[in-house]
Structure 1
């Protein structure tokens, strides 16, 4: 476990467990959901990286460059490949100081037939933290990709999520996107959604323009979540009855590699050999 700190803020990261965040607090109050001591399941932690693809690939199968790729199903009995490799791998510490940490993950070509390097740089700021997730294609051929970050926030009776979004993708029973509809079909993020009053949500919202504002009246905190311009998608996960919810910046929608719409709609992009791309997430916190 590595602890970073600056001012009122402390951040714990577990390099061996997906390079995940395990604690983020302001003056002892949880900015991200509390994690049980000794927890090793990345899905029970505060946040983890989505690299080299975000969310789901249907059946783990996609076509690219005239070839069909078949990826392992990596999430129990779930029928789709989920969240890439980084969240299930150890990361190596490259740079460490009191308020900054760089972690690196190297992937050799396998079923995902591209070698790549991923880096996470955590930087503490006066009002919170910044996470930069970078992907570099080390293969000699173009690589499809999407990036994301998967933060979990405490859910209290008054917890509210507000974000400027234009549309929302409905999803089937396995949470693959089906139809693009108006943003307010399930929840109203534009007006501000009280999470405890939401139905089950595991959907991607389009046309996101930050910040996403998370208000936590019971904790006396307001959180502003912003991301770099290449993240026009905000994936919301609000399981009914849970003590958490997620607001996930991503560069593409789920199953983007298999969609017939244009890359401008899906977010599916291609990284040239030797090229790199980054997604930056900033979390700023103030006391109410």
Structure 2
């Protein structure tokens, strides 16, 4: 585990556990939930080279069908790519900055690539930059995301400017683009404890998102790079956390190539690099 600190902020990063963040605190107050020894108990983990779901693990690209292993228990879809289930290596470490990386050889995902995460801190903020680099001689589809978990308290509130939401089927594959207020109202500000079950992507996100934690005495501003126009919200029932995830594409984007402009599906050319950034700033109330 690597620990960085600046001002009142302190972060733990666990390269061996999917390159995940396992703690982000402001003093003794959690900004992100405290993580455990498994990546699904983490505070935040990377989504690379694909964010969210690929339906049944099957997609077509360049006129050819590809079939990926299902990688999440009995879930019917391939989920979140490889980074979260891979050990990362440490590249550089300083008092307030660390870089970790891993390399992926061709397998069922038949494109070689490398991925890097750079974490840097100021006295009141942490920045996470996720980069994907093609190491292949063929074009490669991709999407990127980061998956932070926030503590859920009675007054936890999320406000974000969005213009639509993808309604999903029972396995959370998007089916229909509907009004942004169809399920919850992020534009007006949503009290998390008053929301139904949510595992949906919102479109047209123009950051930042404001996360108010009155019981914890914190206001959090969540920003992302301009290529993250999608805001995935996960509010499970009966849990003490919720997720607010910036992504470059919607779930199952690789199966919607005819509308790539709407869904965020991207293509990385041989030798090309693409990055996304998430910035979390913290203010005490």
1:111 aligns with 2:90: no
Tell me what 2:63 maps to: 66
Aligned residues: 285
Q: How high is the TM-score relative to the length of structure 2?
A: 0.99
CA distance in structure 1 between the aligned counterparts of 2:37 and 2:82, rounded to whole angstroms: 16
- Aligned-pair distance for 1:128? 1.4
The 3-state SS of whatever aligns with 2:209 is strand
CA distance in structure 2 between the aligned counterparts of 1:159 and 1:125, rounded to whole angstroms: 25
CA distance in structure 2 between the aligned counterparts of 1:34 and 1:49, rounded to whole angstroms: 16
Tell me what 1:122 maps to: 119
The 3-state SS of whatever aligns with 1:150 is strand
CA distance in structure 1 between the aligned counterparts of 2:111 and 2:44, rounded to whole angstroms: 25
- Aligned-pair distance for 1:125? 1.3
The 3-state SS of whatever aligns with 2:254 is helix
CA distance in structure 1 between the aligned counterparts of 2:150 and 2:173, rounded to whole angstroms: 23
CA distance in structure 2 between the aligned counterparts of 1:55 and 1:66, rounded to whole angstroms: 23
Q: How high is the TM-score relative to the length of structure 1?
A: 0.98
Tell me what 2:184 maps to: 187
Tell me what 2:204 maps to: 207
After the TM superposition, list the runs of 4 or more consecutive aligned residues in structure 1 that deviate by more than 2 angstroms. none
Q: Once the two structures are superposed, what CA deviation does each residue of 1:5-62 show, in whole Å capped at 9, x if it has no partner?
A: 1111100011001010000001111000123xxx221011100000000000001000
The 3-state SS of whatever aligns with 2:165 is strand
Q: Which ranges of structure 2 fall in alignment gaps of 5 or more residues? A: none
Q: Which ranges of structure 1 fall in alignment gaps of 5 or more residues? A: none
Q: Once the two structures are superposed, what CA deviation does each residue of 1:174-213 show, in whole Å capped at 9, x if it has no partner?
A: 0000000000011000000000000000000000000000
Tell me what 1:2 maps to: 2
Tell me what 2:30 maps to: 30
The 3-state SS of whatever aligns with 2:133 is strand
Alpha carbon RMSD of aligned pairs, Å? 0.7
Counterpart contact for 1:168–1:206, Cα < 8 Å:
yes
